[in-house]
Chain A
Protein backbone atom coordinates (compact mmCIF):
# COMPACT_ATOMS: atom_id res chain seq x y z
CA UNK A 1 0.00 0.00 0.00
CA UNK A 2 2.77 2.36 1.05
CA UNK A 3 4.78 1.53 -2.08
CA UNK A 4 1.75 2.32 -4.21
CA UNK A 5 1.37 5.73 -2.55
CA UNK A 6 5.03 6.53 -3.21
CA UNK A 7 4.64 5.29 -6.76
CA UNK A 8 1.63 7.54 -7.40
CA UNK A 9 3.61 10.55 -6.17
CA UNK A 10 6.55 9.70 -8.44
CA UNK A 11 4.44 8.93 -11.46
CA UNK A 12 1.81 10.86 -13.38
CA UNK A 13 -0.65 9.41 -15.87
CA UNK A 14 -1.95 11.78 -18.53
CA UNK A 15 -4.64 11.22 -21.16
CA UNK A 16 -3.15 11.62 -24.64
CA UNK A 17 -5.11 12.71 -27.69
CA UNK A 18 -2.99 12.87 -30.82
CA UNK A 19 -3.60 11.87 -34.41
CA UNK A 20 -1.13 10.16 -36.66
CA UNK A 21 0.14 13.53 -37.95
CA UNK A 22 0.45 15.11 -34.49
CA UNK A 23 3.78 13.58 -33.48
CA UNK A 24 5.65 16.90 -33.52
CA UNK A 25 3.10 18.16 -30.99
CA UNK A 26 3.98 15.18 -28.79
CA UNK A 27 7.67 16.06 -29.06
CA UNK A 28 6.89 19.59 -27.79
CA UNK A 29 4.69 18.21 -25.02
CA UNK A 30 7.31 15.70 -23.83
CA UNK A 31 9.98 18.44 -23.89
CA UNK A 32 7.81 20.77 -21.78
CA UNK A 33 7.00 17.99 -19.32
CA UNK A 34 10.73 17.11 -18.96
CA UNK A 35 11.57 20.74 -18.27
CA UNK A 36 8.95 20.61 -15.47
CA UNK A 37 10.51 17.45 -14.00
CA UNK A 38 8.32 14.78 -15.64
CA UNK A 39 10.02 12.38 -18.05
CA UNK A 40 7.95 10.22 -20.37
CA UNK A 41 8.21 6.63 -19.18
CA UNK A 42 5.38 4.69 -20.86
CA UNK A 43 2.99 5.39 -23.69
CA UNK A 44 0.20 2.85 -23.97
CA UNK A 45 -3.25 3.16 -25.49
CA UNK A 46 -4.43 6.72 -24.97
CA UNK A 47 -2.37 7.30 -21.82
CA UNK A 48 1.15 8.53 -21.16
CA UNK A 49 2.93 7.77 -17.90
CA UNK A 50 5.57 10.24 -16.69
CA UNK A 51 8.11 9.63 -13.98
CA UNK A 52 9.36 12.36 -11.65
CA UNK A 53 12.93 13.51 -12.40
CA UNK A 54 15.02 16.61 -11.83
CA UNK A 55 13.84 19.24 -14.38
CA UNK A 56 15.91 18.65 -17.49
CA UNK A 57 16.20 20.21 -20.96
CA UNK A 58 15.78 17.44 -23.52
CA UNK A 59 15.01 17.30 -27.23
CA UNK A 60 12.54 14.60 -28.22
CA UNK A 61 11.95 12.70 -31.40
CA UNK A 62 8.71 10.79 -31.83
CA UNK A 63 9.11 8.46 -34.75
CA UNK A 64 6.69 6.21 -36.57
CA UNK A 65 8.68 3.41 -38.13
CA UNK A 66 6.70 0.22 -38.33
CA UNK A 67 2.98 0.96 -38.59
CA UNK A 68 0.93 -2.13 -37.83
CA UNK A 69 -2.77 -2.71 -38.38
CA UNK A 70 -5.01 -4.16 -35.66
CA UNK A 71 -4.60 -7.66 -37.15
CA UNK A 72 -0.79 -7.53 -37.38
CA UNK A 73 2.06 -7.92 -34.92
CA UNK A 74 5.05 -5.77 -34.13
CA UNK A 75 8.19 -7.37 -35.44
CA UNK A 76 10.47 -7.41 -32.40
CA UNK A 77 13.62 -7.89 -34.51
CA UNK A 78 12.78 -4.88 -36.66
CA UNK A 79 11.99 -2.85 -33.57
CA UNK A 80 15.31 -3.81 -32.01
CA UNK A 81 17.17 -2.90 -35.22
CA UNK A 82 15.44 0.47 -35.41
CA UNK A 83 16.25 1.14 -31.76
CA UNK A 84 19.88 0.19 -32.35
CA UNK A 85 20.16 2.57 -35.33
CA UNK A 86 18.59 5.45 -33.41
CA UNK A 87 20.82 4.89 -30.37
CA UNK A 88 23.88 4.69 -32.62
CA UNK A 89 22.74 8.01 -34.09
CA UNK A 90 22.96 9.65 -30.65
CA UNK A 91 19.41 9.20 -29.34
CA UNK A 92 18.26 7.63 -26.06
CA UNK A 93 15.26 5.32 -26.19
CA UNK A 94 12.39 6.38 -23.88
CA UNK A 95 9.37 4.27 -24.73
CA UNK A 96 7.36 2.84 -27.58
CA UNK A 97 3.90 1.60 -28.43
CA UNK A 98 2.20 0.01 -31.43
CA UNK A 99 2.41 3.24 -33.36
CA UNK A 100 5.65 5.01 -32.53
CA UNK A 101 8.89 5.08 -30.59
CA UNK A 102 10.00 8.00 -28.41
CA UNK A 103 13.66 9.06 -28.20
CA UNK A 104 15.40 11.93 -26.48
CA UNK A 105 18.78 13.57 -26.26
CA UNK A 106 20.18 16.41 -24.14
CA UNK A 107 19.02 19.73 -25.62
CA UNK A 108 21.51 20.96 -28.21
CA UNK A 109 23.55 17.69 -28.19
CA UNK A 110 24.90 16.56 -31.54
CA UNK A 111 22.75 13.79 -33.05
CA UNK A 112 21.55 13.09 -36.56
CA UNK A 113 17.81 13.83 -36.86
CA UNK A 114 15.96 10.51 -37.07
CA UNK A 115 14.21 11.47 -40.29
CA UNK A 116 16.27 13.33 -42.87
CA UNK A 117 14.23 12.59 -45.98
CA UNK A 118 10.76 14.26 -46.08
CA UNK A 119 9.53 11.88 -48.83
CA UNK A 120 10.37 8.79 -46.78
CA UNK A 121 8.86 10.37 -43.62
CA UNK A 122 5.69 11.33 -45.51
CA UNK A 123 5.29 7.81 -46.92
CA UNK A 124 5.74 6.25 -43.47
CA UNK A 125 3.01 8.48 -42.00
CA UNK A 126 0.75 7.71 -44.96
CA UNK A 127 1.24 3.99 -44.42
CA UNK A 128 0.49 4.38 -40.68
CA UNK A 129 -2.66 6.33 -41.53
CA UNK A 130 -3.98 3.65 -43.89
CA UNK A 131 -3.27 0.94 -41.34
CA UNK A 132 -4.95 2.61 -38.39
CA UNK A 133 -6.89 5.85 -38.76
CA UNK A 134 -8.68 5.05 -41.99
CA UNK A 135 -11.21 3.39 -39.67
CA UNK A 136 -12.36 6.92 -38.69
CA UNK A 137 -13.31 7.64 -42.30
CA UNK A 138 -15.25 4.37 -42.42
CA UNK A 139 -17.13 5.29 -39.22
CA UNK A 140 -17.98 8.72 -40.69
CA UNK A 141 -19.38 7.05 -43.80
CA UNK A 142 -21.33 4.51 -41.71
CA UNK A 143 -22.85 7.40 -39.71
CA UNK A 144 -23.74 9.29 -42.89
CA UNK A 145 -26.13 6.61 -44.13
CA UNK A 146 -28.62 6.72 -41.19
CA UNK A 147 -28.34 10.52 -41.12
CA UNK A 148 -29.22 10.95 -44.80
CA UNK A 149 -31.90 8.27 -44.61
CA UNK A 150 -33.53 9.91 -41.54
CA UNK A 151 -33.34 13.41 -43.05
CA UNK A 152 -34.98 12.17 -46.23
CA UNK A 153 -37.79 10.40 -44.36
CA UNK A 154 -38.18 12.85 -41.50
CA UNK A 155 -41.74 13.51 -40.30
CA UNK A 156 -43.07 16.15 -37.94
CA UNK A 157 -43.42 13.65 -35.12
CA UNK A 158 -39.62 13.30 -35.00
CA UNK A 159 -39.76 16.57 -33.01
CA UNK A 160 -42.36 15.17 -30.65
CA UNK A 161 -40.92 11.83 -29.54
CA UNK A 162 -38.20 11.94 -26.86
CA UNK A 163 -35.87 9.99 -29.12
CA UNK A 164 -37.28 11.35 -32.38
CA UNK A 165 -34.33 13.59 -33.21
CA UNK A 166 -31.75 11.15 -31.86
CA UNK A 167 -31.36 9.50 -35.24
CA UNK A 168 -30.48 12.94 -36.68
CA UNK A 169 -28.54 14.56 -33.85
CA UNK A 170 -26.55 11.50 -32.80
CA UNK A 171 -24.92 10.75 -36.20
CA UNK A 172 -24.62 14.49 -36.92
CA UNK A 173 -22.65 15.17 -33.70
CA UNK A 174 -20.53 12.06 -34.26
CA UNK A 175 -19.71 13.18 -37.79
CA UNK A 176 -18.71 16.64 -36.49
CA UNK A 177 -16.56 15.11 -33.72
CA UNK A 178 -14.82 12.70 -36.06
CA UNK A 179 -14.37 15.39 -38.69
CA UNK A 180 -12.62 17.63 -36.15
CA UNK A 181 -10.14 14.79 -35.79
CA UNK A 182 -10.07 13.66 -39.40
CA UNK A 183 -10.11 16.86 -41.51
CA UNK A 184 -6.81 18.29 -40.12
CA UNK A 185 -5.16 14.93 -40.90
CA UNK A 186 -6.53 15.06 -44.43
CA UNK A 187 -5.32 18.66 -44.86
CA UNK A 188 -1.89 17.63 -43.56
CA UNK A 189 -1.61 14.92 -46.23
CA UNK A 190 -2.80 17.16 -49.08
CA UNK A 191 -0.54 20.06 -48.08
CA UNK A 192 2.55 17.93 -47.45
CA UNK A 193 2.07 15.82 -50.55
CA UNK A 194 2.59 19.03 -52.54
CA UNK A 195 5.50 20.13 -50.35
CA UNK A 196 7.48 16.89 -50.68
CA UNK A 197 6.94 16.96 -54.44
CA UNK A 198 8.56 20.40 -54.46
CA UNK A 199 11.42 19.04 -52.32
CA UNK A 200 10.35 21.01 -49.24
CA UNK A 201 10.25 19.81 -45.63
CA UNK A 202 7.05 18.62 -43.93
CA UNK A 203 4.85 21.24 -42.32
CA UNK A 204 3.02 20.53 -39.05
CA UNK A 205 0.04 22.06 -37.29
CA UNK A 206 1.03 24.31 -34.36
CA UNK A 207 0.77 22.89 -30.83
CA UNK A 208 -1.64 25.69 -29.90
CA UNK A 209 -4.07 24.70 -32.65
CA UNK A 210 -3.83 21.02 -31.72
CA UNK A 211 -4.57 21.85 -28.06
CA UNK A 212 -7.58 23.96 -29.11
CA UNK A 213 -8.79 21.21 -31.42
CA UNK A 214 -8.44 18.59 -28.69
CA UNK A 215 -10.39 20.78 -26.24
CA UNK A 216 -13.17 21.22 -28.78
CA UNK A 217 -13.12 17.48 -29.40
CA UNK A 218 -13.45 16.68 -25.68
CA UNK A 219 -16.22 19.30 -25.15
CA UNK A 220 -18.23 17.94 -28.09
CA UNK A 221 -17.73 14.38 -26.89
CA UNK A 222 -19.02 15.46 -23.44
CA UNK A 223 -22.07 17.12 -25.03
CA UNK A 224 -22.70 14.02 -27.09
CA UNK A 225 -22.57 11.70 -24.08
CA UNK A 226 -24.79 14.09 -22.12
CA UNK A 227 -27.26 14.15 -24.99
CA UNK A 228 -27.34 10.35 -25.16
CA UNK A 229 -27.82 10.13 -21.38
CA UNK A 230 -30.65 12.71 -21.31
CA UNK A 231 -32.35 11.05 -24.28
CA UNK A 232 -32.26 7.72 -22.48
CA UNK A 233 -33.69 9.28 -19.31
CA UNK A 234 -36.35 10.96 -21.46
CA UNK A 235 -37.29 7.58 -22.89
CA UNK A 236 -37.44 5.96 -19.44
CA UNK A 237 -39.74 8.70 -18.10
CA UNK A 238 -41.91 8.66 -21.22
CA UNK A 239 -42.98 5.15 -20.33
CA UNK A 240 -40.91 3.11 -22.78
CA UNK A 241 -40.42 -0.28 -21.06
CA UNK A 242 -36.94 -0.88 -19.68
CA UNK A 243 -36.86 -4.17 -21.55
CA UNK A 244 -36.80 -2.22 -24.84
CA UNK A 245 -34.24 0.26 -23.50
CA UNK A 246 -31.97 -2.70 -22.67
CA UNK A 247 -31.27 -2.81 -26.41
CA UNK A 248 -29.12 0.33 -26.13
CA UNK A 249 -26.47 -1.02 -23.70
CA UNK A 250 -26.50 -4.35 -25.53
CA UNK A 251 -25.84 -2.59 -28.84
CA UNK A 252 -22.90 -0.73 -27.29
CA UNK A 253 -21.47 -3.25 -24.85
CA UNK A 254 -21.72 -6.43 -26.88
CA UNK A 255 -19.63 -5.24 -29.89
CA UNK A 256 -17.22 -3.54 -27.46
CA UNK A 257 -16.78 -6.75 -25.45
CA UNK A 258 -16.38 -8.80 -28.63
CA UNK A 259 -13.89 -6.26 -30.03
CA UNK A 260 -11.79 -6.25 -26.85
CA UNK A 261 -11.96 -10.05 -26.61
CA UNK A 262 -10.81 -10.40 -30.22
CA UNK A 263 -7.98 -7.94 -29.68
CA UNK A 264 -6.83 -9.84 -26.60
CA UNK A 265 -6.99 -13.15 -28.47
CA UNK A 266 -5.17 -11.81 -31.52
CA UNK A 267 -2.40 -10.29 -29.41
CA UNK A 268 -2.04 -13.46 -27.32
CA UNK A 269 -1.80 -16.08 -30.03
CA UNK A 270 0.00 -15.19 -33.25
CA UNK A 271 -1.57 -16.05 -36.59
CA UNK A 272 -1.16 -14.71 -40.09
CA UNK A 273 -3.14 -11.62 -41.08
CA UNK A 274 -5.37 -13.77 -43.32
CA UNK A 275 -6.28 -16.12 -40.44
CA UNK A 276 -6.97 -13.15 -38.13
CA UNK A 277 -9.15 -11.51 -40.77
CA UNK A 278 -11.13 -14.71 -41.35
CA UNK A 279 -11.67 -15.20 -37.59
CA UNK A 280 -12.70 -11.55 -37.25
CA UNK A 281 -15.30 -11.84 -40.04
CA UNK A 282 -16.78 -15.02 -38.53
CA UNK A 283 -16.93 -13.47 -35.04
CA UNK A 284 -18.53 -10.27 -36.38
CA UNK A 285 -21.13 -12.31 -38.23
CA UNK A 286 -22.01 -14.32 -35.12
CA UNK A 287 -22.16 -11.10 -33.05
CA UNK A 288 -24.48 -9.51 -35.60
CA UNK A 289 -26.82 -12.55 -35.54
CA UNK A 290 -26.85 -12.54 -31.72
CA UNK A 291 -27.57 -8.80 -31.64
CA UNK A 292 -30.43 -9.07 -34.12
CA UNK A 293 -31.91 -12.01 -32.18
CA UNK A 294 -31.67 -10.16 -28.84
CA UNK A 295 -33.13 -6.96 -30.36
CA UNK A 296 -36.13 -8.75 -31.86
CA UNK A 297 -36.64 -10.70 -28.65
CA UNK A 298 -36.65 -7.56 -26.49
CA UNK A 299 -38.86 -5.58 -28.88
CA UNK A 300 -41.28 -8.52 -28.92
CA UNK A 301 -41.36 -8.60 -25.11
CA UNK A 302 -42.17 -4.89 -24.94
CA UNK A 303 -44.54 -4.90 -27.91
CA UNK A 304 -47.73 -4.22 -25.94
CA UNK A 305 -46.35 -0.87 -24.85
CA UNK A 306 -47.81 0.81 -27.93
CA UNK A 307 -51.30 -0.12 -26.89
CA UNK A 308 -51.01 1.38 -23.46
CA UNK A 309 -53.69 3.97 -22.74
CA UNK A 310 -53.43 7.08 -20.59
CA UNK A 311 -56.62 8.65 -19.44
CA UNK A 312 -55.49 11.94 -17.88
CA UNK A 313 -55.65 14.82 -20.34
CA UNK A 314 -53.35 17.77 -19.61
CA UNK A 315 -54.88 21.04 -18.50
CA UNK A 316 -55.03 22.88 -21.83
CA UNK A 317 -58.08 23.82 -23.92
CA UNK A 318 -59.38 20.69 -25.65
CA UNK A 319 -62.41 19.82 -27.70
CA UNK A 320 -65.21 17.85 -26.06
CA UNK A 321 -68.74 16.93 -27.12
CA UNK A 322 -70.22 19.85 -25.27
CA UNK A 323 -68.39 22.21 -27.60
CA UNK A 324 -70.63 20.79 -30.33
CA UNK A 325 -73.69 20.92 -28.03
CA UNK A 326 -73.78 17.13 -27.77
CA UNK A 327 -75.44 15.39 -24.80
CA UNK A 328 -73.06 12.39 -24.83
CA UNK A 329 -70.56 11.84 -22.00
CA UNK A 330 -66.99 12.73 -22.85
CA UNK A 331 -64.88 9.56 -22.91
CA UNK A 332 -61.54 10.12 -24.59
CA UNK A 333 -59.83 6.97 -25.82
CA UNK A 334 -56.21 6.21 -26.59
CA UNK A 335 -54.71 9.35 -25.11
CA UNK A 336 -50.96 9.40 -25.61
CA UNK A 337 -48.92 12.07 -23.85
CA UNK A 338 -45.27 12.63 -24.66
CA UNK A 339 -42.67 15.35 -24.42
CA UNK A 340 -39.31 16.03 -25.97
CA UNK A 341 -36.71 18.75 -25.85
CA UNK A 342 -38.35 20.46 -28.87
CA UNK A 343 -41.92 19.94 -27.74
CA UNK A 344 -42.50 19.98 -23.96
CA UNK A 345 -46.08 18.74 -24.38
CA UNK A 346 -47.77 16.76 -27.11
CA UNK A 347 -50.81 14.57 -26.84
CA UNK A 348 -53.48 13.01 -29.02
CA UNK A 349 -56.90 11.69 -28.22
CA UNK A 350 -59.92 10.30 -30.02
CA UNK A 351 -63.54 10.31 -28.98
CA UNK A 352 -67.10 10.20 -30.30
CA UNK A 353 -69.75 12.91 -30.33
CA UNK A 354 -73.31 13.41 -31.61
CA UNK A 355 -73.27 16.27 -34.06
CA UNK A 356 -76.23 18.62 -33.41
CA UNK A 357 -75.92 20.22 -36.85
CA UNK A 358 -76.35 17.00 -38.80
CA UNK A 359 -77.73 14.89 -35.98
CA UNK A 360 -75.29 11.98 -36.28
CA UNK A 361 -72.57 10.46 -34.09
CA UNK A 362 -69.12 11.57 -35.23
CA UNK A 363 -65.51 11.10 -34.32
CA UNK A 364 -63.19 13.72 -32.79
CA UNK A 365 -59.45 13.33 -33.18
CA UNK A 366 -57.23 16.03 -31.75
CA UNK A 367 -53.49 16.41 -31.60
CA UNK A 368 -52.06 19.14 -29.38
CA UNK A 369 -48.45 20.24 -29.96
CA UNK A 370 -46.71 22.80 -27.79
CA UNK A 371 -43.24 23.70 -29.02
CA UNK A 372 -40.33 25.32 -27.25
CA UNK A 373 -39.39 27.61 -30.14
CA UNK A 374 -41.37 29.48 -32.83
CA UNK A 375 -39.06 28.05 -35.49
CA UNK A 376 -39.90 24.48 -34.42
CA UNK A 377 -43.64 25.29 -34.64
CA UNK A 378 -43.20 26.71 -38.14
CA UNK A 379 -41.12 23.70 -39.20
CA UNK A 380 -43.69 21.24 -37.81
CA UNK A 381 -46.54 23.03 -39.64
CA UNK A 382 -44.52 23.06 -42.89
CA UNK A 383 -43.84 19.34 -42.50
CA UNK A 384 -47.49 18.50 -41.83
CA UNK A 385 -48.55 20.54 -44.88
CA UNK A 386 -45.90 18.83 -47.01
CA UNK A 387 -47.01 15.38 -45.79
CA UNK A 388 -50.64 16.16 -46.53
CA UNK A 389 -49.82 17.53 -50.00
CA UNK A 390 -47.97 14.28 -50.76
CA UNK A 391 -50.87 12.17 -49.44
CA UNK A 392 -53.39 14.09 -51.50
CA UNK A 393 -51.14 13.86 -54.55
CA UNK A 394 -51.22 10.06 -54.16
CA UNK A 395 -55.01 10.04 -53.63
CA UNK A 396 -55.50 12.18 -56.74
CA UNK A 397 -54.22 9.36 -58.96
CA UNK A 398 -57.72 7.89 -58.68
CA UNK A 399 -59.44 11.27 -58.72
CA UNK A 400 -60.78 13.57 -61.41
CA UNK A 401 -58.39 15.65 -63.48
CA UNK A 402 -58.21 19.41 -63.25
CA UNK A 403 -58.18 19.54 -59.43
CA UNK A 404 -54.91 20.73 -57.88
CA UNK A 405 -53.38 19.97 -54.47
CA UNK A 406 -54.07 23.61 -53.57
CA UNK A 407 -57.78 22.80 -53.81
CA UNK A 408 -57.31 20.51 -50.80
CA UNK A 409 -54.47 22.08 -48.81
CA UNK A 410 -55.20 25.78 -48.43
CA UNK A 411 -55.28 28.52 -45.79
CA UNK A 412 -58.61 29.43 -44.26
CA UNK A 413 -58.94 33.18 -43.73
CA UNK A 414 -61.18 35.20 -41.47
CA UNK A 415 -59.81 34.14 -38.07
CA UNK A 416 -56.70 36.34 -37.99
CA UNK A 417 -57.73 38.08 -34.77
CA UNK A 418 -57.87 34.74 -32.91
CA UNK A 419 -55.12 32.60 -34.48
CA UNK A 420 -51.97 33.03 -36.59
CA UNK A 421 -53.16 30.67 -39.31
CA UNK A 422 -55.61 27.88 -40.13
CA UNK A 423 -55.11 25.40 -42.96
CA UNK A 424 -57.49 22.86 -44.38
CA UNK A 425 -55.44 19.70 -44.86
CA UNK A 426 -57.96 17.18 -46.10
CA UNK A 427 -59.67 16.43 -49.37
CA UNK A 428 -62.96 16.12 -47.42
CA UNK A 429 -62.37 19.39 -45.52
CA UNK A 430 -62.61 17.35 -42.31
CA UNK A 431 -59.09 18.00 -41.02
CA UNK A 432 -57.65 21.39 -40.08
CA UNK A 433 -54.47 22.64 -38.52
CA UNK A 434 -54.63 25.70 -36.25
CA UNK A 435 -51.50 27.61 -35.22
CA UNK A 436 -50.97 30.34 -32.67
CA UNK A 437 -47.43 31.18 -31.57
CA UNK A 438 -45.83 27.97 -30.31
CA UNK A 439 -49.13 26.08 -30.06
CA UNK A 440 -50.51 23.85 -32.79
CA UNK A 441 -53.77 21.87 -32.91
CA UNK A 442 -54.58 19.30 -35.55
CA UNK A 443 -58.32 18.68 -35.45
CA UNK A 444 -60.07 15.92 -37.35
CA UNK A 445 -63.82 15.35 -37.49
CA UNK A 446 -65.96 13.06 -39.60
CA UNK A 447 -67.65 16.08 -41.14
CA UNK A 448 -66.19 19.21 -42.81
CA UNK A 449 -64.61 21.55 -40.27
CA UNK A 450 -65.92 24.77 -41.69
CA UNK A 451 -68.45 27.54 -41.09
CA UNK A 452 -70.24 27.33 -37.76
CA UNK A 453 -68.38 24.16 -36.73
CA UNK A 454 -64.97 25.78 -37.32
CA UNK A 455 -66.04 28.84 -35.32
CA UNK A 456 -66.92 26.49 -32.42
CA UNK A 457 -63.46 24.88 -32.65
CA UNK A 458 -61.58 28.20 -32.78
CA UNK A 459 -63.62 29.68 -29.94
CA UNK A 460 -62.98 26.68 -27.73
CA UNK A 461 -59.29 26.29 -28.45
CA UNK A 462 -58.21 29.93 -28.72
CA UNK A 463 -61.12 31.91 -27.30
CA UNK A 464 -60.37 34.29 -24.45
Chain B
Protein backbone atom coordinates (compact mmCIF):
# COMPACT_ATOMS: atom_id res chain seq x y z
CA UNK B 1 0.00 0.00 0.00
CA UNK B 2 1.34 3.43 -0.92
CA UNK B 3 2.32 5.62 1.99
CA UNK B 4 -0.12 8.41 2.70
CA UNK B 5 1.31 11.74 1.57
CA UNK B 6 1.48 14.60 4.03
CA UNK B 7 -1.68 16.71 3.75
CA UNK B 8 -2.12 19.02 6.71
CA UNK B 9 0.83 19.35 9.06
CA UNK B 10 0.55 18.71 12.78
CA UNK B 11 1.78 21.43 15.14
CA UNK B 12 5.05 19.55 15.74
CA UNK B 13 5.62 19.08 11.99
CA UNK B 14 4.95 22.72 11.27
CA UNK B 15 7.43 24.00 13.85
CA UNK B 16 10.12 21.53 12.84
CA UNK B 17 9.85 22.62 9.20
CA UNK B 18 9.82 26.25 10.27
CA UNK B 19 13.13 25.75 12.06
CA UNK B 20 14.71 24.09 9.03
CA UNK B 21 14.54 27.14 6.84
CA UNK B 22 18.24 27.22 7.72
CA UNK B 23 20.46 24.16 8.40
CA UNK B 24 20.09 22.99 11.98
CA UNK B 25 20.89 19.85 14.01
CA UNK B 26 18.46 17.89 16.17
CA UNK B 27 19.12 19.51 19.50
CA UNK B 28 19.08 22.93 17.82
CA UNK B 29 15.62 22.20 16.43
CA UNK B 30 14.25 21.20 19.85
CA UNK B 31 15.77 24.28 21.46
CA UNK B 32 14.61 26.68 18.77
CA UNK B 33 11.02 25.43 18.89
CA UNK B 34 11.05 25.90 22.65
CA UNK B 35 12.33 29.49 22.30
CA UNK B 36 10.09 30.31 19.33
CA UNK B 37 6.93 29.26 21.19
CA UNK B 38 8.03 30.43 24.67
CA UNK B 39 7.89 26.84 25.84
CA UNK B 40 4.31 26.31 24.62
CA UNK B 41 5.33 23.65 22.09
CA UNK B 42 7.87 20.99 22.94
CA UNK B 43 9.12 18.42 20.48
CA UNK B 44 10.79 15.49 22.19
CA UNK B 45 13.80 13.66 20.71
CA UNK B 46 11.76 10.54 19.86
CA UNK B 47 9.11 12.56 18.10
CA UNK B 48 11.72 14.67 16.31
CA UNK B 49 13.61 11.57 15.16
CA UNK B 50 10.49 10.03 13.65
CA UNK B 51 9.43 13.29 12.01
CA UNK B 52 12.86 13.84 10.45
CA UNK B 53 12.94 10.21 9.24
CA UNK B 54 9.58 10.71 7.55
CA UNK B 55 10.54 14.11 6.09
CA UNK B 56 13.76 12.62 4.70
CA UNK B 57 11.87 9.74 3.13
CA UNK B 58 9.46 12.14 1.46
CA UNK B 59 12.33 14.45 0.41
CA UNK B 60 10.98 17.37 2.39
CA UNK B 61 14.29 17.79 4.22
CA UNK B 62 17.82 16.64 3.44
CA UNK B 63 20.74 15.85 5.62
CA UNK B 64 23.72 18.19 5.17
CA UNK B 65 27.06 17.42 6.78
CA UNK B 66 28.32 19.66 9.52
CA UNK B 67 31.66 20.42 11.08
CA UNK B 68 30.90 19.34 14.65
CA UNK B 69 30.01 15.76 13.57
CA UNK B 70 26.31 16.33 14.19
CA UNK B 71 23.75 15.62 11.51
CA UNK B 72 22.14 18.82 10.31
CA UNK B 73 19.06 19.15 8.15
CA UNK B 74 17.60 21.75 5.87
CA UNK B 75 14.38 22.15 3.85
CA UNK B 76 14.37 21.07 0.21
CA UNK B 77 12.41 22.98 -2.46
CA UNK B 78 9.57 20.51 -1.91
CA UNK B 79 9.79 21.24 1.81
CA UNK B 80 9.65 25.01 1.22
CA UNK B 81 6.60 24.57 -1.02
CA UNK B 82 4.87 22.41 1.60
CA UNK B 83 5.63 24.88 4.39
CA UNK B 84 4.45 27.78 2.24
CA UNK B 85 1.22 25.95 1.42
CA UNK B 86 0.62 25.23 5.09
CA UNK B 87 1.31 28.85 6.01
CA UNK B 88 -1.24 30.00 3.41
CA UNK B 89 -3.75 27.52 4.79
CA UNK B 90 -3.20 28.74 8.35
CA UNK B 91 -3.53 32.39 7.23
CA UNK B 92 -6.80 31.49 5.54
CA UNK B 93 -8.01 29.85 8.74
CA UNK B 94 -7.19 32.98 10.74
CA UNK B 95 -8.79 35.20 8.11
CA UNK B 96 -12.00 33.15 8.15
CA UNK B 97 -11.99 33.23 11.93
CA UNK B 98 -11.59 37.01 11.99
CA UNK B 99 -14.63 37.51 9.75
CA UNK B 100 -16.84 35.69 12.19
CA UNK B 101 -15.29 36.42 15.56
CA UNK B 102 -14.07 40.06 15.39
CA UNK B 103 -17.46 41.63 15.97
CA UNK B 104 -18.48 38.87 18.32
CA UNK B 105 -15.60 39.57 20.74
CA UNK B 106 -16.44 43.32 20.94
CA UNK B 107 -19.99 42.63 22.13
Contact = CB atoms under 8 A, between A and B. Distances in A.
B32 interface: no
A123 B27 CA distance: 23
Contacts of A82: 45-46, 49
Interface of B: 10, 12, 26-27, 30, 34, 42-51, 53, 70-71
B70 to A, nearest CB: 7
| Interface residues on chain A, size class | 20 to 34
Contacts, number: 69
A72 B48 CA distance: 23
A420 interface: no
B42 A88 contact: no
A82 B46 CA distance: 7
Contact of A112 (B10, B45, B53): B45
Contacts of B46: 63, 65, 82, 85-86, 114-116, 120-121, 124
The winner among B27, B46, B47 for most chain A CB atoms within 10 A is B46
B26 A88 contact: yes
Contacts of A117: 10, 12, 43-44, 47, 51
B51 A89 contact: no
Interface string A62-84: 01010000000000001001101
Interface centre among B10, B27, B44, B47 (most CB of A within 10 A): B44
A88 B45 contact: yes
Contact of B45 (A78, A85, A123): A85
Given A84-B70, A88-B30, A124 B45 contact: no
Given A81-B49, A88-B26, A88-B27, A116 B71 contact: no
22 contacts: A65-B46, A65-B49, A81-B49, A82-B45, A82-B49, A85-B26, A85-B48, A88-B30, A89-B30, A112-B42, A114-B45, A115-B44, A115-B47, A117-B43, A117-B44, A120-B47, A120-B50, A120-B51, A121-B46, A121-B47, A124-B46, A124-B50
Interface in A70-128: 78, 81-82, 84-86, 88-89, 91, 112-117, 119-121, 123-124
Contacts of B43: 112, 116-117
A82 B71 CA distance: 11
6 closest Cβ pairs, A-B complex? A88-B27, A85-B45, A116-B44, A114-B46, A89-B45, A117-B47
Given A65-B46, A121-B46, 11 more contacts: A82-B46, A82-B49, A85-B30, A85-B49, A86-B46, A89-B30, A112-B30, A112-B34, A116-B43, A117-B12, A117-B43
Contacts of B26: 81, 84-85, 88
A85 B10 contact: no
Contacts of B30: 85, 88-89, 112
Contacts of B50: 65, 120, 123-124
Contacts of A119: 10
Nearest to B41: A116
Contact of B47 (A81, A84, A88, A116): A116
A112 B44 contact: yes
A89 B31 CA distance: 9
Given A81-B26, A117-B10, A117-B12, A86 B47 contact: no
A114 B44 contact: yes
B47 to A, nearest CB: 4
A116 B70 contact: no
Contacts of B12: 116-117, 120
A81 B27 contact: no
Contacts of B47: 114-117, 120-121
B58 to A, nearest CB: 15
Contacts of B44: 89, 112-117
A277 to B, nearest CB: 19
Contacts of A84: 26, 70
A114 B46 CA distance: 5
A82 B42 CA distance: 17
Contacts of B53: 78
B49 A89 contact: no
B41 to A, nearest CB: 8
